[in-house]
Copies of this chain bind each other. A is one copy, B any other.
Amino acid sequence: MSPQAQQNERVELERHGVRATRQRIAVLRALAAEPNDATAQEIYAWLAQRGEAIGLATVYRTLALLNSNGVVDALAHRPGELCYRLCGEGHHHHLVCGECHRVVELDDCDLDEWLKRLAVEHKFAISAHTVEVTGICADCR
């Protein structure tokens, strides 16, 4: 990878007040290369295969850090493991293909009105909501 390309990841990390290390830049690159979501183990394997010297624990620590800084999304489609993916700005949900695991990022969320109604009806202060839509994409049919 060119020093030029690394520059993007470095800036992204520093923008979030995170120290730019070789390993963190590598994880960010792996995420950028993956159009869908990936588990920590998959990212580790991807990097190892390309000769990146990085420990599995570091991958986990980095993903947790990036997630808490809002750089990556953590999806829990299956119990017992988390999937991560670079997230766009703002609030959004995902449409996942059950066959090939392709993920489409949805940018519109029509739920606000419904949520407001729920808040009143059940006397909840609603802080968050997740939506995950599953189906089969055109290519898998």
Contact = CB atoms under 8 A, between A and B. Distances in A.
Contacts of A110: 114
A75 to B, nearest CB: 10
Residues of A contacting B: mostly = strand
Chain copies in complex: 2
Nearest to A109: B114
Given A76-B76, A79-B76, A126 B134 contact: yes
Contacts of A21: none
Interface size on A, as a range, is: 35 or more
Contact of A138 (B97, B124, B128): B124
Contact of A137 (B76, B123, B129): B123
A134 B80 CA distance: 20
A42 interface: no
A30 interface: no
Interface in A69-96: 74, 76, 79-82, 95
Interface of A: 74, 76, 79-82, 95, 97-98, 104, 106, 110-111, 114-115, 118-119, 122-138, 141
